Amino acid sequence: MKLLCISNGHGEDGIAVRILKQLRQLPGSPSLAALPIVGEGRSFEKAGIAIHGPTQAMPSGGFIYMDRSQLWRDVQGGLVGLTLAQLKTARQWAKSGGKILAVGDVVPLAIAWQSGADYSFVGTAKSEYSLRDERGRLPGRPPTDGWSGSVYVPWERWLMAHPRCRGVFARDQLTADILQKKGVPAIYPGNPMMDDLETSADQLARLTASFDPAPARLTLALLPGSRAPEAFDNWQRMVDAIASVLETFGDRQVRLLAALAPALNLAAFKDVLLDAGWQPVTGDYPTFQRQGRQGNQGVLVLTTNAFAECLHLADAALATAGTATEQAVGLGKPVVTFPGPGPQFTYAFAEAQLRLLGPSVLLLSQPDEAGAALRDCLADSPRLQRIAENGRRRMGPPGGAGAIAQVLHQHYADPPYSDVTSWAT
């Protein structure tokens, strides 16, 4: 038995890799391959999962759904030919007896369906929380939102309820419940985004040692996003937000932990800090220091390999990111966000993220509002408790990837470990 994973985005690739790594540890697991339809699939290659079929990085970075003007650039960059070749790859895979796991939205789901193969679907892009919460429909949403009674429209649900669809995994329990009411046998075994966030005691100690002891302190994780050049633009706005935090919290040391993607150029981040008056100091990590107006100290550490540690040490986060913001929320942290020019983290994206994640997100118009927003939030203990509970409810505990892998194993192991023929009947 062999399984092809089709995913459409950097975050989706990461989720797929977590599931496939768990699956291949199980006895009789199928041989694995990946067809990333956005980007070149480096996450799969790093995990030792073979790329099957054509890949190509597009000018938009995969964000045409947030900025339709990017679509023409992708068409000029070869999108049509690439898509046709990927459709052909999926059909050839099916003809050779392979099965498909689609991860993301309706695009990989539709490719899986048109291939003719049996398939399963991990829906990462849509949640009922964007329309409603447990109490009912969100106020102020236009009547056309969720017009069919679900965030998933009828043709998406048809693909999920097709006899060849062997499993549908929703990203939260609320979404699974609504899909079930609409005739789709979806389940929620957990959200793989919350996996692989374990910390290293050595990394925690090294990060903590970057700061002088202080009786009063505030620790913030900085999450500017993973894609250049947008992450550099976001970083400039984040440094402006930090200035307001230093001024507002003049009575304490402000510890800042920047969790940066390894592929980003650290020099660009350092240059912005130097231009803003931050001074480099010696440390295990690139470390910068600045005095606030009231004499308090700000210390900022740049990391590229300590994402989980940055989140766990933080009291809150400043973020202009997608998946990283969701993970911070899942760990119970309040997250301050402010939109930029994009192409990903625009106002439309940030507002949709606010609906998805609820009261854990503090969406601001301008970065210089960050200090006051954090002061009000962190001083409100009942609010912090609600934020922690909200994050756990919407994002779930760790273990989702392993749970999904166990279900896939029942269907696709060799020999099959289950006599279940279809989840859609």
From CA 402, how far away is CA 10, in angstroms rounded? 20
Question: pTM for this one?
Answer: 0.89
Nearest to 202 by CA among 305, 280, 273: 305
Residues 112 and 52 grouped into a single domain: yes
Please indicate, yes or no, whether residues 239 and 360 belong to a single structural domain of this protein: yes
What is the number of H-type helices and E-type strands within the chain?
Answer: 16, 17
DSSP state of 96: T
**For position 337, which CATH number holds?**
3.40.50.2000
CA distance 373 to 315: 14
Question: If you search the block for the tokens 């046998």, which residue do you land on?
Answer: 185
The contacts of residue 373 (CB under 8 Å, 6+ apart) are: 336, 362, 364
For residue 173, is pLDDT > 60?
A: yes
DSSP-derived secondary structure for 58-74: -TTTT-TTT-THHHHHH
Per-residue pLDDT averaged across 158-181, rounded? 97
On whether residue 169 sits in a domain, the answer given is yes
Number of domains in the chain: 2
Q: Quick one: pLDDT at residue 412? A: 86
pLDDT of residue 420: 37
151 is a domain residue = yes
**Residue 425 placed within a domain:** no
Question: Mean pLDDT lowest for which of 3-17, 155-169, 384-398?
Answer: 3-17
Q: What are phi and psi of 19, to 5 degrees?
A: -65, -45
| Averaged pLDDT for residues 179-195 | 97
- Cα–Cα distance between 266 and 331 in angstroms, integer? 26
Same domain, 226 and 158: no
Residue 423 is predicted with a pLDDT of 36
Q: Where are the beta strands (DSSP E) in 8-59?
A: 31-36, 50-51
Q: Which of 147-156, 209-218, 308-317 has the lowest mean pLDDT?
A: 209-218
Q: Which of 69-78, 280-289, 358-367, 399-408 has the lowest mean pLDDT?
A: 69-78
- Looking at residue 336, its pLDDT comes to 99
Q: Are 93 and 100 in contact, with CB atoms under 8 Å apart?
A: yes
Q: Inform me whether the pLDDT recorded for 72 exceeds 70.
A: no
**Token pair 């308090």: residue:** 296
> Which residue bears the tokens 């919407």?
394
Which pLDDT score is estimated for 13?
Answer: 92
Looking at the DSSP bridge assignments, the partners of residue 246 are none
Residue 419 lies in a domain: no
8 Å CB contact between 120 and 19: no
Is pLDDT above 50 for 421? no
pLDDT for residue 425 is more than 50? no
Residue 165 sits in the same domain as residue 245: no
Q: Name residues whose C-beta falls within 8 Å of residue 386's C-beta, 6 or more positions apart in sequence.
A: 359
Same domain, 143 and 266: no
35 with 99, same domain: the answer is yes
> Inter-axis angle of helices 400-412 and 10-23, to 10 degrees?
60
Q: Taking residues 226-238, what's their average pLDDT? A: 93
- Find the CATH number of the domain harbouring 113: 3.40.50
Give CA–CA dist 337/365, Å, rounded.
9
Residue 197: how many CB atoms within 10 A of its CB?
A: 16
Maximum CA extent, the chain: 69
Q: What is the pLDDT of residue 7?
A: 94
Residue 180 lies in a domain: yes
d(CA 146, CA 151): 5
Alpha-carbon 374 to chain mean position: 23
Which of 43-47, 253-257, 290-294 shows the highest mean pLDDT? Answer: 253-257
Identify whether residues 184 and 255 lie together within a single domain: no
> Whole-angstrom distance between the N-terminal and C-terminal Cα of the chain?
23
Q: Does the structure show a pLDDT above 70 at 422?
A: no
Q: Establish if 117 belongs to a structural domain.
A: yes
Does 254 lie in the same domain as 106? no
**Residue numbers of the domain that contains 299:** 201-395
CA distance 75 to 408: 35
How deeply is 185 buried, as exposed, middle or buried, from its count of CB atoms within 10 A (0-12, 13-18, 19+)? middle
Secondary element (H or E) of residue 256? strand 253-259
* pLDDT of amino acid 70: 64
Query: Same domain for 243 and 115?
Result: no
Whole-number pLDDT of residue 418: 46
Interatomic CA distance for residues 210 and 188, integer angstroms:
40
**256 and 183 co-located in one domain:** no
335 and 222 inside one domain: yes
∠ at Cα 20 (15, 26), nearest 5°?
Answer: 140
Name the β-bridge partners of 51.
Answer: 34
Query: What is the pLDDT averaged over residues 398-414?
Result: 92
Are 150 and 157 spatial neighbours (Cβ–Cβ below 8 Å)? yes
Residue 388: in which H helix or E strand, if any? helix 381-395
The mean pLDDT value of the chain amounts to 91
pLDDT for 22: 97
Is 229 among the domain residues? Answer: yes
Closest listed residue to residue 245, CA positions, set 308, 173, 300: 300
- pLDDT of 56 reads 66
- The verdict on residue 33 lying in a domain is yes
Tell me the residue length of the chain: 425
Q: CB within 8 A of 421, min separation 6: which ones? A: none
What local confidence, expressed as pLDDT, does residue 83 receive? 81
Q: Are residues 148 and 243 in the same domain?
A: no
